[in-house]
Each structure stands twice: as structure tokens, then as C-alpha cells.
């Protein structure tokens, strides 16, 4: 009962409960705007979390993730434009339902399925994270180095169709992480005489630039979004007979969402499409899929909300963010001097349990807010896109300046946005780059610490069993990805 | 039959970046406090890895030689993005001179106009209102000392 009490205490002794509601609200609005992914909605808030107490800040960010996954289904259903990548599968039957005059029913199914998925994912998160972190407590410096290498190789392999592109992104991230004063000898590296670079480049600046600014650079060249004609739409919650019918696709979405969530690099989009496909396969009415099937809405919406919680398992237990949104949440931890991973449960249990409690509140808040938020969302989606771009950029530059009152940092965010735009054009995934930035210090410091312990003998990485196992796994994964890439010359678009 | 040009360009870019990074790493000073690896050790490893990845990508793109349909490149979105980057850069330069309230109002108005909003009194009014709201939010509510502007005695 101790963790439960800690969660309650942590929630009640902070502003976490209002933060959960505010985060869900912001997330639904962000998710409802096509082009604003959950990670962007989170990144926009990241600068504002500096002033908040850690539990409140992390609950706020995690709640945005929860809300955004539901918000993404609103334009998917109403205007056939998914608000988030993970809502793309919802378009298939959600929009068909809307065309048949059943938009309110589709939105209700999306909301309830999101709640079911979010709560299921939370249970998995609570049950799986601490045991996994317990195993990681046995890690030595060589093992931590190997874990960092494995994390990057997993993300580089799975977040893109091309290992080489993922690897290049990760190496750019490592390069960025090495800017600043060398932590061992104190000499400046890659600062080019610029004093503002001596403290290094903060991951938050890279994340805001890569996710938010680069998306605005993309949006400005794209046509306006379609208008949502949903003024008469009223959300309709499913009744009991419908809930019984939805139980099977929701179960399918829960299982697939769990598996894809805990797998770094997979994410909600793959989970949603796999769940849709499996729900059709196991359905008693497969002929309805693509023609307005309620199961075709329930399965992907359950899956992408399961992922909002299960994607945090590798982050909290091992310190490896498995998705863009988890990477932004990692940024939130780092802002408050907290390093996710096995020691987090020792050093800041109240924050972890508070985050669990906050996620529970966020899922309940999503149901309550979701019932009343539809009209404001439709109003927001119908705002002129030029103003949304302008206001989002004004928010970005103001928020980033507010962190350290530095226009130099605003300039770094703009530069990171330009790099992100280039990466998107070249179909290079951005997550490995972010991972390189956030894991760079861990990888380098543990590499050098290991060699200090072994007096320069690289055999320490083989002698340590955990390190050896992780490095072999990383090598096997890289070899498999290279083999796959080498014998499949045509690449597919990278997942953002 | 053409090589995958985008991948080839990316590979060449990665090799160029690796060369520049290695050159910069070579100029990192040695310290008496340095360990066996040294401050430049890991950056050099990363630089060589980047060079190798870039070379492999180039090689793969040449080897692939998949048929690529001739597509007309649409430059307009990229030029628009470049222009937006210019506006953001101008904001960074202008903000310390004219101060936060005016610069954020200008940024909002210019970006909205650039993105397609019609120029007129409405654009001006909304931009000024946005500047005022942002200034109140950050300056007054959050207590952040936003730039007052050299031109206004800041």
C-alpha cells in the first residue's frame, strides 16, 4: 500500500491534479489540430515546466500525451484528416461513420476506448516498470555504456526503414551532446569561442526546435486544412450492448498497444494499424470494416491510448525513451535534475508514484473533458491556419526565452528547427537524434569511467556479463537491420 | 535508371559533416587533467562513425539504382520555409533592439501575413492584441524579465 499512499500524497501535496486536467485539455486541443503531434503539443509546454514542481511538471506533460491521442481522433472522424499520426487508422471507419451521420457515436466510441486503453496501459506501466528497474539496479558503468549503445541501435533500427539514416541521426545527436565543457578535463569542445556554448546545448532546445519549429516550417508550405462542419455534432457515449460488442476490439487494442508501447521505436501509429487489422480478422462483422465499423474505431483508439502509458515503461525503468513523446517527457525529467532509469525509484519515488497517480487522473479527466470539449475543438480546427502558425511560433520563442532569458537559445531552437526540416525532407527519423542528445553524456561518461576502472583495457566491456549481453544484442540488431536494408533497396517513408 | 539521389546527397553531407567535425575535434586542447581517452577521444570516434555511415549510404544508393520516376521539384514550399526561418532569425536580432512587446507583435503579424492572412486593419489589431497578451502573460504573470529594447532604454 505504500506506493499507493505515496501516489495519493504526492498528488495532494502538489498541483498535479489541476495539471492533469490542464494537460489533457491542452493535449486534446493540440491533437485536434492536424500537424500538431502529441510530442509537439508537449514540447510547446516544456519551457513552462521549469517553474513547476517536478511531479506537477511531469504529470502535466504526460497528460498532454493522453489528451492528444483522443484529440487526434476528432479531425480524423470529422474531416478525414488525422490530428495525430496514431489517429490515421481511425479515419478508415470513423470518417465513414461521420458520413453516415454517426460522427457523435464514433467520437463517443473513441473517447471510451481511449479511456479503456489508457487505464489498461497504466496497469501495465505500474506492474512492469519497477521489476524491470530492479534488474537494471545491477548495472555497472560498462553496462550503462552498453545500455546507451543498445538504446540508440534499437531506435535507429526501428524508427526508420533505414538503419543508416537512423544511425546518422543518432550520431548528429551525439555530436550535439559533446558541445560544451568536457566533464572530465574541463576543456571546451566545439564552442568556437562562444561563451554561451560552454554549458552545452540543452536537450529541451533541440526537442522544441526539431518537433515544433520544423513542423511549422512544413505547415507553411502546405494547403489549409479542411473545415470541420460539425456544429450539430453531439458526442454520444456507447450504451451497454455496444460496450459488450466493443470489448473484443478493445482487448485486441490493449494487447497490441502493450507490446508496441514497450518496444522502443514502435509507437502508437503501428499499434493502431495492427490493432485495426487484427480487429477485422477476429470480428464477427468483418464486412463492416471500411464502411463505418464501430470496432474499426474502437481497436485503434484503444491501442494508441495504451501506448501513452506503456511507452513510459522503457523510459522509467531503463532511461530509454521509446517514442518522440517519451523523449519530450525525458526532457521534463532532465529539466528537474532527474535521470529516468533504475535509480529513479530510489532517488525520487514520490515523483514516479505521483506520475502514476497523475496518469490515472488524466484518463478520468479525459472522459470528463472529452464530453464537453467537442464544440471548442471544432471552433479551433476552423481557425485560419496562418494565425495558428503565427501564435504557435510566438509561444515557442517566448517560452524558450523565458527559460534562461537568452535569445541565443532562441537562435539554437530556430537552428534546430532548420535541421529538423532538412531531416524531414531526407526522411531521416528525428527520434534517434534526440536520443543521441539525451544519452550522449551517459554513453561518454560511462565509457570513460569504465576505461578508468580497467586502466584503459577495453576488455572490461566483455568481462562484464550484462555489458557483453547488451552489446551483442545491439550488434545483432544492427547486423539484422543492415542485412534487411541491403537486400531491400527501396526505402519506405520514415516514421516521424 | 538513376541512383537514389536524396540518399546520395545525404551520404555526402554526412561525410562532409564528419570531416568538419573531425577537424574541429583535432583542435580540442589537451589537458593535464585528461584521462586515457581524452576530451577529443569520443568525438573522434563519433566523427569516424559518421564518415563510415555516410560512405555506406552513398555506396548503397549507388548500388540500389532503382528506377525513379522523373518528378518535378516543387520549390515553393521550401522557399516559404526558408523565408519563415528568415523571419524567426530577424526576430532574434530585432528583439533586443525594439523590446519584447513590439517584436512579438511584429513576429505574430508578419508570420500570419506571410502564411496567408490578408493584410489590413484586422491583421494589425490582432497582432497588437497578441503582443499585449504575450507580454502580460510572460512579463506580468510569469514575472520573466523580457527584453525591454535598447531603443526604449532597456
- In sign, the C-alpha dihedral spanning A489, A493, B3, B6 is negative
Residue of A45, A192, A383, A386 best to disrupt the B interface, most CBs of B under 10 A: A386
Residues recorded for chain B: 154
In this complex, do B53 and A393 lie within 8 Å of one another by their Cβ atoms? no
ipTM of this predicted complex?
0.91
Would you place residue A363 in the very low, low, confident or very high pLDDT band (cuts 50, 70, 90)?
A: very high
Residues A189-197: what's their mean pLDDT? Answer: 91
Name the residue among B49, B63, B88 with its Cβ closest to that of A414.
B88
Centre a 10 Å sphere on the Cβ of residue A443 and count the other Cβ atoms it contains: 22
Q: Cβ of A405 and B117 within 8 Å? A: no
* pLDDT 10s digits, A119-142: 999 999 999 888 888 777 788 899
A contacts of B108 (beta carbons < 8 Å):
390-391, 394
| pLDDT at residue A340 is higher than 80 | yes
Distance separating alpha carbons of residues A363 and A357, to the nearest angstrom: 10
Please say whether the beta carbons of B102 and B131 come within 8 A. Answer: yes
B29 touching A, CB under 8 A? yes
Residue in B56, B84, B116 nearest the CB of A217:
B84
Q: How far is A248 from chain B (nearest CA, A)?
A: 43
Mean pLDDT of A449-468: 91
- Residues A389, B115: C-beta atoms closer than 8 Å: yes
The pTM assigned to this predicted structure is: 0.82
Chain B: residue nearest A213 by CA? B85
Distance CA(A420)–CA(A215), nearest Å, equals 8
pLDDT at A211 over 90: no
CA distance A424 to chain B (A): 12
The verdict on a CB contact (< 8 Å) between B81 and A221 is yes
Residue numbers in chain B where pLDDT is lower than 70: 1-3, 33, 65-72, 152-154
Name the residue facing A393 among B31, B92, B107 (closest C-beta). Answer: B107
B90 touches chain A (CB under 8 A): no
User: What is the rounded distance in angstroms from the CA atom of residue A312 to the CA atom of residue A429?
Assistant: 20
A50 Cβ neighbours under 8 A, 6+ residues apart: A335, A402, A403
For B107, the closest chain A residue by CA position comes to A394
Helix axes A431-453, B41-64, angle to 10 degrees: 140
Of A457, A436, A468, A427, which is closest to residue A160 (Cα–Cα)? A427
Q: Is B48 on the interface with A (CB under 8 A)?
A: no
Q: Taking CA atoms, what residue in A is nearest to B37?
A: A448
pLDDT number for residue A129: 87
Share of chain A above pLDDT 70, in %: 96
Q: Flag whether residue B133 sits within 8 Å of chain A, measured between CB atoms.
A: no
In the predicted model, what is the mean pLDDT of residues A233-245?
A: 87
CB distance A414–B146 less than 8 Å?
no
**pLDDT at site A263:** 78
Cβ atoms within 10 Å of A226's Cβ, excluding its own: 14
pLDDT at A230: 60
The residues, ordered by sequence, that sit 6+ positions from B121 with a Cβ below 8 Å of its Cβ are none
Q: How many CB atoms lie within 10 A of CB A335?
A: 21
Give the end-to-end CA distance of chain A in Å, rounded to a whole number. Answer: 40
A421 with B6: Cβ contact below 8 A: no
Which residues, 6 or more positions from B110, have their beta carbon under 8 angstroms from its beta carbon? B87
Which residues from A are below 8 Å from B137, CB to CB? Answer: 398
Residues of B within 8 A of A185 (CB-CB) are: 31, 33-35, 38-39
- For residue A277, CA distances in Å to A245, A283, A307 come to 17, 10, 17
Mean pLDDT along residues A406-412: 94
* Burial per residue of A127-153, b for 16 or more beta-carbon CB atoms within 10 angstroms, e otherwise: ebbbeebeebeebbbbbbbbbbbbbbb
Q: Where residue A50 falls among pLDDT bands split at 50, 70, 90?
A: confident
pLDDT for the residue numbered B82: 96
In this predicted structure, the answer to whether residue A496 has a pLDDT above a threshold of 70 is no
Q: Burial code of B59-91, b = ≥16 C-beta within 10 A, e = fewer?
A: ebbeebeeeeeeeeeeeeeeebbeebbebbeeb
Determine the residue of chain B that is closest to A445 in CA distance. Answer: B42
Residue A486 pLDDT:
74
B80 touches chain A (CB under 8 A): yes
* Displacement of CA A311 from its chain's centroid (Å): 7
Cβ–Cβ pairs < 8 A, chains A and B: 197
Contact across the interface for B117 and A444, Cβ inside 8 Å: no
Distance CA A384, CA A188 (A): 47
Quick check: A394 and B104 CB within 8 A?
A: yes
Nearest-CA distance from A182 to chain B in Å? 6
- Report the 10 Å Cβ neighbour count for A470: 24
- HEC profile of chain B: CCCCHHHHHHHHHHHHHHHHHHHHHHCCCCCCCCCCCCCCHHHHHHHHHHHHHHHHHHHHHHHHCCCCCCCCCCCHHHHHHHHHHHHHHHHHHHHHHHCHHHHHHHHHHHHHHHHCCCCCHHHHHHHHHHHHHHHHHHHHHCCCCCCCCHHHCC
pLDDT of residue B65: 63
Q: Does B107 touch chain A (CB under 8 A)?
A: yes
Beta bridge partners of A181: A188
Chain A residues within 8 A of B60 when measuring between CB atoms: 164, 485-486, 489
Say yes or no: B42 contacts chain A, CB-CB below 8 A. yes
Q: How many other CB atoms are found less than 10 A from the CB of residue A200?
A: 19
Answer whether residue A174 shows pLDDT above 50: yes
Q: A484: pLDDT confidence band, cut at 50, 70 and 90?
A: confident
Q: Count CB neighbours of A277 within 10 A.
A: 16
- A386, B112: Cβ pair inside 8 Å? yes
Q: Report residue A450's pLDDT band, with 50, 70 and 90 as the boundaries.
A: very high
Give the pLDDT of residue B69: 59
Residue A405: its chain B contacts at CB < 8 A?
Answer: 144-146
Alpha-carbon dihedral of residues A164, A167, A169, A173, nearest 10 degrees?
-160
Amino acid at each position: 500500500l505504500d506506493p499507493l499512499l505515496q501516489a495519493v500524497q504526492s498528488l495532494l501535496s502538489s498541483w498535479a491534479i489541476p495539471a492533469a486536467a490542464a494537460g489533457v485539455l491542452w493535449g486534446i486541443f493540440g491533437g485536434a489540430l492536424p500537424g500538431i503531434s502529441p510530442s509537439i503539443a508537449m514540447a510547446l509546454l516544456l519551457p513552462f515546466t521549469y517553474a513547476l514542481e517536478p511531479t506537477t511538471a511531469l504529470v502535466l506533460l504526460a497528460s498532454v500525451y493522453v489528451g492528444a491521442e483522443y484529440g487526434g481522433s476528432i479531425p480524423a472522424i470529422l474531416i478525414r484528416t488525422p490530428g495525430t499520426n496514431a489517429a490515421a487508422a481511425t479515419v478508415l471507419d470513423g470518417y465513414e461513420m461521420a458520413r453516415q451521420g454517426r460522427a457523435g457515436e464514433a467520437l463517443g466510441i473513441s473517447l471510451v476506448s481511449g479511456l479503456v486503453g489508457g487505464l489498461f496501459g497504466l496497469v501495465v506501466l505500474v506492474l512492469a516498470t519497477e521489476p524491470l528497474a530492479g534488474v537494471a539496479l545491477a548495472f555497472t558503468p560498462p553496462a550503462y555504456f552498453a545500455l546507451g549503445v543498445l538504446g540508440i541501435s534499437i531506435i535507429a533500427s526501428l524508427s526508420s526503414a533505414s538503419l543508416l539514416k537512423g544511425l546518422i541521426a543518432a550520431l548528429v545527436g551525439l555530436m550535439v551532446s559533446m558541445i560544451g565543457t568536457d566533464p572530465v578535463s574541463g576543456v571546451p569542445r566545439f564552442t568556437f569561442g562562444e561563451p554561451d556554448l560552454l554549458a552545452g546545448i540543452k536537450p529541451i532546445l533541440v526537442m522544441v526546435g526539431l518537433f515544433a519549429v520544423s513542423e511549422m516550417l512544413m505547415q507553411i508550405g502546405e494547403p489549409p486544412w479542411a473545415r470541420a462542419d460539425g456544429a450539430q455534432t453531439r458526442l454520444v457515449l456507447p450504451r451497454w450492448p455496444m460496450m459488450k460488442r466493443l470489448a473484443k476490439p478493445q482487448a485486441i487494442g490493449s494487447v497490441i498497444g502493450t507490446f508496441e508501447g514497450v518496444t522502443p521505436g514502435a509507437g502508437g501509429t503501428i499499434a493502431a494499424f495492427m490493432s485495426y487489422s487484427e480487429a477485422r480478422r477476429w470480428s464477427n462483422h468483418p464486412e463492416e470494416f471500411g464502411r463505418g465499423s464501430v470496432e474499426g474505431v474502437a481497436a485503434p483508439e484503444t491501442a494508441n491510448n495504451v501506448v501513452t502509458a506503456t511507452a513510459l515503461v522503457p523510459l522509467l525503468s531503463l532511461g530509454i525513451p521509446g517514442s518522440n513523446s517519451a523523449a519530450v517527457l525525458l526532457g521534463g525529467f532532465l529539466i528537474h535534475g532527474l535521470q529516468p532509469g533504475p535509480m529513479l525509484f530510489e532517488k525520487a519515488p514520490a515523483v514516479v508514484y505521483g506520475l502514476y497517480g497523475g496518469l490515472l487522473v488524466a484518463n478520468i479527466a479525459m472522459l470528463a473533458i472529452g464530453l464537453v470539449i467537442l464544440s471548442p475543438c471544432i471552433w479551433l480546427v476552423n481557425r485560419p491556419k496562418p494565425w495558428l502558425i503565427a501564435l504557435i511560433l510566438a509561444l515557442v520563442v517566448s517560452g524558450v526565452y523565458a527559460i534562461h532569458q537568452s535569445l541565443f537559445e532562441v537562435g539554437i531552437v530556430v537552428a534546430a528547427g532548420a535541421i529538423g526540416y532538412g531531416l524531414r525532407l531526407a526522411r531521416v527519423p528525428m527520434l534517434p537524434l534526440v536520443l543521441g542528445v539525451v544519452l550522449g553524456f551517459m554513453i561518454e561518461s560511462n565509457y570513460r569511467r569504465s576505461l578508468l576502472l580497467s586502466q584503459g583495457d577495453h576488455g572490461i566491456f566483455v568481462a562484464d556479463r550484462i555489458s557483453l549481453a547488451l552489446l551483442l544484442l545491439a550488434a545483432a540488431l544492427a547486423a539484422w537491420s543492415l542485412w534487411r536494408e541491403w537486400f531491400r533497396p527501396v526505402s519506405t517513408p520514415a516514421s516521424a | 535508371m538513376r541512383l537514389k539521389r536524396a540518399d546520395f546527397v545525404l551520404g555526402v553531407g554526412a561525410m562532409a559533416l564528419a570531416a568538419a567535425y573531425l577537424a574541429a575535434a583535432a583542435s580540442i586542447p589537451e589537458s593535464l587533467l585528461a584521462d586515457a581517452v581524452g576530451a577529443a577521444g569520443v568525438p573522434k570516434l563519433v566523427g569516424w562513425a559518421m564518415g563510415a555511415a555516410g560512405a555506406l549510404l552513398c555506396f548503397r544508393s549507388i548500388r540500389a539504382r532503382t528506377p525513379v520516376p522523373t518528378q518535378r521539384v516543387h520549390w515553393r514550399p521550401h522557399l516559404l520555409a526558408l523565408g519563415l526561418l528568415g523571419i524567426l532569425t530577424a526576430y532574434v536580432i530585432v528583439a533586443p533592439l525594439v523590446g519584447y512587446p513590439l517584436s512579438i507583435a511584429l513576429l505574430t503579424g508578419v508570420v500570419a501575413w506571410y502564411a496567408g492572412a490578408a493584410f489590413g486593419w484586422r491583421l494589425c489589431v490582432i497582432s497588437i492584441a497578441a503582443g499585449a497578451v504575450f507580454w502580460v502573460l510572460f512579463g506580468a504573470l510569469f514575472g520573466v524579465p523580457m527584453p525591454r529594447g535598447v531603443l526604449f532604454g532597456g
